[in-house]
Chain A
Amino acid sequence: MPAHDVLIIGAGLAGQRAALAAAQSGASVAIMSKVHPVRSHSVAAAGGINAAISVDDDWHSHAYDTVKGSDFLGDQDAIEVMCSEAPAEVMHLEHIGVTFHRNDKGEMDLRAFGGASMKRTAYVADITGQAMLHVLYEQLMRHHETVERYEEWFTTSLLTDDDGRCAGVIARDVRTGRMEAFQAKNVILACGGAGQAYKPTTNGLIVTGDGIAMAYRAGAPLMDMEMVQYHPTCLVETGILITEGARGEGAHLLNAAGERFMEKSAPNKMELASRDVVSRAEQIEINEGRGVGPDGSGIYLDVTVVPRKRTLEALREIVNLGRDFAGVDITREPITIRPGQHYIMGGVKTDVDGRTPIEGLYAAGEVACVSVHGGNRLGANSLLDTLIFGRRSGEHAAARAAGIGMPRVDAAAQLKQDIARIDSIIARPHDGRRVSEIKNELGELMNRHAAVFRDEAGLQTAREAIGRLKEEAEHAWIDDHGTVFNQDVLGAIELGYMIDCAETTVIGAIERKESRGAQFRTDYPERNDEEWLKHIDVTLGADGPQVSYSPVTITQWQPEERKY
């Protein structure tokens, strides 16, 4: 059985950063991913990464913007850690090769982003995530002797020892279908969010909440799952993302009357208010009949106000996206967009070193909830989150590994159980529903009832429907009976992961009877600090999901009214 000090699940930015940090600390490290690392969804992050690197900037300002963006639900100690360590982290990325764009002095250039009080976002055109992910993978190739890579291995469950400590994972080699147990002193979950529980979503097909669900099933609490970010600018048909960088470069949002409607809800920041604010403003225009497009379900994003040369150089990717996926030359005409599911602020509850309440289990990146994003994440803070808490998790796990022996665990039983589970999925008779049907229904359900605007009736409908879908998923059948690249059977397992994520999201949304950040309850339209300035934790108990609360850490910024 392979054994490692630190085993990382997921090879996006958080996972790769964790692996490199743990290896540098001297631990024996392996990184496992169900896809090749450069396919990880971090690759799609476009706009940039926030850090107070300008001489006129101060990390306290970055931290305050983040706290305010979070609608005061973010834990301020964690936000302080992230923002104060940001400049050094970004410089580190620059030193290992990220091709950050420069100003005429040769220093890193910075662009404006939503919710930020000054230009603070370093970028590589509008492929910042891709550039960073590929550079980290370069480093993994460079350090292949110290970081073992299990590429295209799908994790089916976490192993825990008799004392409840995490002791490794069971995984399936996607290429051959072989199942194996992996022993580890520490497991770091870094496998992203759960966007595919929504339809449409900006997230890739691989973003199915694997880590969140595995941790939940192993007994770890999930925090603030109701906080689901809708990005203001997504293509209407496919949900493909148009970067916030477009608005950062000066693009306008217009309704059917050609008005810059952001004047009403954010007279100062206009299009560069926080994402929750902009998405809500757009949805109001659409709901009140001022939308554009054939069924009035869209809003114009007008990039033509940005100089064309600048657009071609700094927003090249969305020029391509507009041309290839909507048939629009964004340098010449406005493009129709609308809010779309993009990111989950909630996730596996961790501390600032990535530790979950389960010993030996860490989480970093979108899978985790530290919480630095609270009720709403600022654009360009997610790349930062992945790197800072990926690194800190890797370092902490490596240090922990140095002090303990390899945990003893009888993996054989669980290995057998996971093999049997897969065999039983393959053997299911074709009398229920297809996996794809259930997945579609789930996505549409979530997008209807757990979206920008929510209410009790809709959420209760969703909860009931999820219960039914969960039943149906137990019998959902597949076509592929093979072992080599049996993506079909993995899809059935992923469906179970997504349903767990959807269920906890809806539970949190029902529980939180106020409007804060991304959660807007039409039946409770005000923020209510007295009762709800707290985190909602959902834990899987013997009788199903259990709700509890934990306090928000406030260090220097008292809650105040949020205006942009």
Chain B
Amino acid sequence: MAETHLPPEKFTVRLRRYDPESGDAPYWDEHTIELAPHRSVLEAVLQARDRFDGSIGIRCSCRQAICGSCGVRVNGEPALACHTHLDAAKRSARDGVIEIEPMGNMPVLKDLIVDMDDVHWKKIRRVTPWLLAKQPVPEREYLVPAESMVDVTQTMACIQCGACVSDCLAMEVDPLFIGPAALAKAYRFVGDPRDDQQFERLNDLAQDPHGMFDCTHCFKCVDACPKDVNPMGQIMRLRRIATSDHHIVDQNNGERHEAAFTSLIRDNGLLWEAELLPRSYGGNSWFGKFHPAAGKELLSSLPAIVKALVRRKVTPAGALKPHRIPKADLRSVQAIFEKVESRDRRYELNLYIAGEDEEPPPPEVPVAAGIVAPIADEPAAPQAASTPTPDEGGPGDGGTPTSPEGSASQ
């Protein structure tokens, strides 16, 4: 049995304390507690509270990662306190002392308690977070494909803990960014076949300058999420449905940027960075750069371009020509495009249902990593309903949740 009944050990926790009534600045407070190493950081905080200082403030209830109350930062990384083992937390601590702080991107009210209403819930309300059901409402249940409900269950599994919001880098730069949790919530309705407003929802989120195209693909939210909701993956799915299904051309140039990105890779096998910006604004061809909109954008980007030239990140000659890769490689890349785009329907990766293999892959099948995997082998459709099984294991493997045809970056 892997189950452990280990004896208690001593752990020291360093808590970020803040008492808004004292007039004092936040400070650090250390306590040493005794618990078995596989018990949680929350239990450590509660033991410190029960034994030494009842004034330690933390929201908590279920102790099993379902109520979403105890979002904090452990050693600088967002996490649920109840979902973080003490031994793991000790290993990742700088000096052997487990550091517990309130989440970021939200104002601190007291100790480890942040104001989620002011940030998180406001953003949730921004995405019209309720079903706008197709009419007429049937007498019994809506008849919908089984896999569609399993699919939206991944975002339904969000417990609103705020861990992804805490460390969203885009939100740090643009506090108005709708953010990972709310956009994942939006997918919960966009992906729900009972919802009547798919286009309106997507158009709204695409046109908003702080909307779905504000995400910078940093993967922070994917790592932070204790429930495998994969918020960034949901944002990518919103983008794909908005651009390829509804052809929404947004004022933020998200759609054009995505189109430019994809065609540059198709044509050259690698990204041609110098062409990306003009094409995103001026139109998706070599002539794009001569469009007034592209000129304007290039002009405003001049300081960045000059800086890059001065630092020798680019050379004028290099910028004028695409990167070259061997012909065979280019053909392989283009084969990927052909294969994916010739499919009748898009395969979506959903970590919630297809996060692990049914059985370990048989040795004769080569295990490809990440993005190429589902293309290299036709997914084993019969056993996996409609969702392909990624060849590599669970959510932690960094397997790219985007489908190949549309990975716009911004």
**Shortest distance in angstroms between A337's beta carbon and chain B's nearest beta carbon?**
11
Given A130-B157, A141-B125, A435-B54, residue A205 in contact with residue B61 (CB < 8 A): yes
CA distance A423 to B14 in the complex (A): 30
**Shortest distance in angstroms between B331's beta carbon and chain A's nearest beta carbon?**
36
CA distance A320 to B194 in the complex (A): 29
Are B67's CB and A204's CB within 8 A? yes
Given A91-B141, A294-B5, A336-B3, residue A436 in contact with residue B51 (CB < 8 A): yes
Q: Residue B64 contacts which of A94, A138, A240, A308 (CB distance < 8 angstroms)?
A: A240
Closest B-chain residue to A478, C-beta based?
B54
Are A36's CB and B116's CB within 8 A? yes
Asked if B144 lies at the interface with its beta carbon under 8 angstroms from chain A, I say: yes
CA distance A95 to B183 in the complex (A): 22
**Shortest distance in angstroms between B181's beta carbon and chain A's nearest beta carbon?**
12
Q: Residue B153 contacts which of A127, A437, A485, A491 (CB distance < 8 angstroms)?
A: A127
Q: Residue A44 contacts which of B49, B66, B146, B160 (CB distance < 8 angstroms)?
A: B66
Asked if A293 lies at the interface with its beta carbon under 8 angstroms from chain B, I say: yes
Highest count of chain B CB atoms <10 Å: which of A41, A53, A480, A485 = A485
Q: Residue A99 contacts which of B3, B36, B149 (CB distance < 8 angstroms)?
A: B149
Are A326's CB and B156's CB within 8 A? no
Are B194's CB and A97's CB within 8 A? yes
11 A-B pairs within 8 Å (CB atoms) are namely: A41-B61, A41-B62, A43-B66, A43-B67, A43-B159, A97-B194, A100-B141, A130-B66, A207-B61, A320-B65, A485-B57
Highest count of chain A CB atoms <10 Å: which of B111, B138, B141, B192 = B141
Asked if A103 lies at the interface with its beta carbon under 8 angstroms from chain B, I say: yes
Interface 1/0 per residue, A468-511 and B, CB below 8 Å: 00000000001111111111100100000000000000000000
- In the complex, besides A437-B50, A479-B53, A482-B55, 13 extra interface pairs with C-beta distance below 8 angstroms are A38-B160, A41-B61, A125-B153, A134-B160, A141-B130, A238-B63, A293-B5, A312-B353, A324-B83, A436-B49, A479-B55, A483-B21, A485-B111
Q: Which residues of A contact B68 (CB under 8 A)?
A: 38-39, 43
Asked if B150 lies at the interface with its beta carbon under 8 angstroms from chain A, I say: yes
Asked if B113 lies at the interface with its beta carbon under 8 angstroms from chain A, I say: yes
**Chain A residues numbered 40-60 whose CB sits less than 8 Å from any CB in chain B:** 40-41, 43-44, 53
Asked if B137 lies at the interface with its beta carbon under 8 angstroms from chain A, I say: yes
Asked if A533 lies at the interface with its beta carbon under 8 angstroms from chain B, I say: no
Given A99-B149, A309-B383, residue A141 in contact with residue B129 (CB < 8 A): yes
**Shortest distance in angstroms between B329's beta carbon and chain A's nearest beta carbon?**
36
Q: Which residues of A contact B1 (CB under 8 A)?
A: 328, 333, 336
Q: Residue A487 contacts which of B39, B57, B140 (CB distance < 8 angstroms)?
A: B57
Q: Which residues of A contact B150 (CB under 8 A)?
A: 101, 125, 313
CA distance A491 to B61 in the complex (A): 13
Are B62's CB and A43's CB within 8 A? yes
Q: Which residues of A contact B146 (CB under 8 A)?
A: 101-104, 106, 109
Are B131's CB and A96's CB within 8 A? yes
Q: Which residues of A contact B91 (CB under 8 A)?
A: none
CA distance A139 to B131 in the complex (A): 9
CA distance A341 to B257 in the complex (A): 56
A-side interface residues, number (CB < 8 Å): 82
**Shortest distance in angstroms between A141's beta carbon and chain B's nearest beta carbon?**
6
CA distance A241 to B63 in the complex (A): 11
Are B59's CB and A35's CB within 8 A? yes
Given A101-B146, A479-B55, residue A138 in contact with residue B131 (CB < 8 A): yes
Q: Which residues of B contact A38 (CB under 8 A)?
A: 67-68, 159-160
**Shortest distance in angstroms between B191's beta carbon and chain A's nearest beta carbon?**
10
Asked if A107 lies at the interface with its beta carbon under 8 angstroms from chain B, I say: yes
Q: Which residues of B contact A44 (CB under 8 A)?
A: 62, 64, 66-67
CA distance A491 to B384 in the complex (A): 49
Interface 1/0 per residue, A98-116 and B, CB below 8 Å: 0111111111110000000
CA distance A434 to B4 in the complex (A): 31
**Shortest distance in angstroms between B364's beta carbon and chain A's nearest beta carbon?**
21
CA distance A14 to B374 in the complex (A): 45
Asked if B142 lies at the interface with its beta carbon under 8 angstroms from chain A, I say: yes
Asked if B250 lies at the interface with its beta carbon under 8 angstroms from chain A, I say: no
Q: Which residues of B contact A333 (CB under 8 A)?
A: 1-2
**Shortest distance in angstroms between A10's beta carbon and chain B's nearest beta carbon?**
13
- 4 smallest CB-CB distances across A and B, nearest first, come from A97-B131, A480-B55, A436-B50, A204-B61
Asked if A557 lies at the interface with its beta carbon under 8 angstroms from chain B, I say: no
